[in-house]
Homo-oligomer: A and B are copies of this chain.
Amino acid sequence: MKETILLGHGSGGKLSHELIKNLFVKYFDNAILKQQTDAALLQLNRTKIAFTTDSYVIDPVFFPGGNIGKLAVCGTVNDISVSGAKPLYISAAFIIEEGFPLTDLEKIVSAMADEAKKAGVLIVTGDTKVVSKGQCDKVFINTAGIGVHEEKYCEIGLGVKIKTGDKIIINGSIADHGMAIMAVRNFGNFEADIKSDCASLNGLIQKILNTGSRINFMRDATRGGMATVLCELAEQLKLGVEIEEFRVPVNENVRGMCELLGFDPFYVANEGKVILVVHPDDAELVLETMKLHELGKDASIIGEIVEAHPSKAILNTGIGGKRIIDMLAGEQLPRIC
């Protein structure tokens, strides 16, 4: 381990994984945490539940397509939803810098309330801490969430049923959230016309599950981008992941902004994107179902699980080449969520 905490330890990439393995999993040592899914699968009496937490430190607090409050609800709703559970209850804990405008706090809280209503979850418990000016930057929000599992879906987050030949599907364009934030940071407010994809995915996911299709894995691609999910997947499965670059939806203005600022969209954060691994016979039905939903209209089958190159995710590039999709090494975009 490095001797001090670096920004990269919060990137969701290599250093984050090291920190989790060498510190948190080592000390907190238990079988549930070791599964390292975004939402823990817990048994309470006869009920199986999903339990997750995330802190949000995004800067700026307000951005095109949302604010830190909306993001905090969507993020936790999504972590529970991709585990296969139905999100029900959310906690909201605020750390606020002294002097933060109450009108801004009200906008944030109001956005949380709106998003919770939309997603059909209740915010049932909370906490407020205030620190002196300069001891935190504006406002940080933590949300934890609880969802209830149906027995048949409770292992989706673990990916235990994935097999060679399964199709990999994404519900739409990548890198919108990260580039919306970068556009604001670099060029001021709302000028680049790129909007965060920040959204609660539980409605879409419920529709997909309702088809009865064999959904063998889901994960939302947030910090570290789509690439990180694919790397984690390949490593965990000891199978190969193969992605067709031309099938991955990227909005033109987002691609342009990525080129301008030197980012690879595969590594840029999303906040409303889910990657699914689906039995090949069910992939078309899933795709069509997704396309009928507002949050899945640009869905695409982007690749599949293969026997070749185990533990590696490979990108077939548009020009006929192949390259390894590696895990994010440093920190690309601090405070992106």
Contact = CB atoms under 8 A, between A and B. Distances in A.
A52 B130 contact: no
Contacts of A103: 3
A125 B20 contact: no
Contacts of A102: 1-5, 23
Contacts of A9: 96, 128, 130
Interface string A130-164: 11101111001010101010000000000000000
A5 B100 contact: yes
A106 interface: yes
A335 interface: yes
Interface stretch (A87-95, A173-181, A206-214, A240-248): A87-95
Which label, helix, strand, loop or mixed, suits the secondary structure of the A interface? mixed
A302 to B, nearest CB: 27
A28 B334 contact: no
Contacts of A88: 42, 44
A235 interface: no
B140 A28 contact: no
A126 interface: yes
A113 B27 contact: yes
Nearest to A33: B124
A29 B113 contact: yes
A98 B144 contact: no
A6 B98 CA distance: 5
A24 B109 contact: yes
Interface residues on A, range: 35 or more
Interface stretch (A53-61, A195-203, A226-234, A314-322): A53-61
Contacts of A92: 24, 28, 53
Contacts of A140: 95, 129, 136, 140
Nearest to A53: B91
A122 B96 CA distance: 29
A1 B98 CA distance: 14
Contacts of A136: 57, 135-137, 140
Interface of A: 1-11, 16, 19-20, 23-24, 27-30, 32-33, 38-40, 42, 44-47, 49, 51-57, 59, 88-89, 91-103, 105-106, 109-110, 112-113, 116, 122-132, 134-137, 140, 142, 144, 146, 148, 331, 334-335
8 contacts: A10-B130, A19-B128, A23-B109, A28-B113, A39-B125, A40-B89, A51-B144, A53-B92
Given A24-B126, A52-B91, A59-B135, 6 more contacts: A10-B130, A23-B102, A23-B105, A24-B92, A53-B126, A131-B137
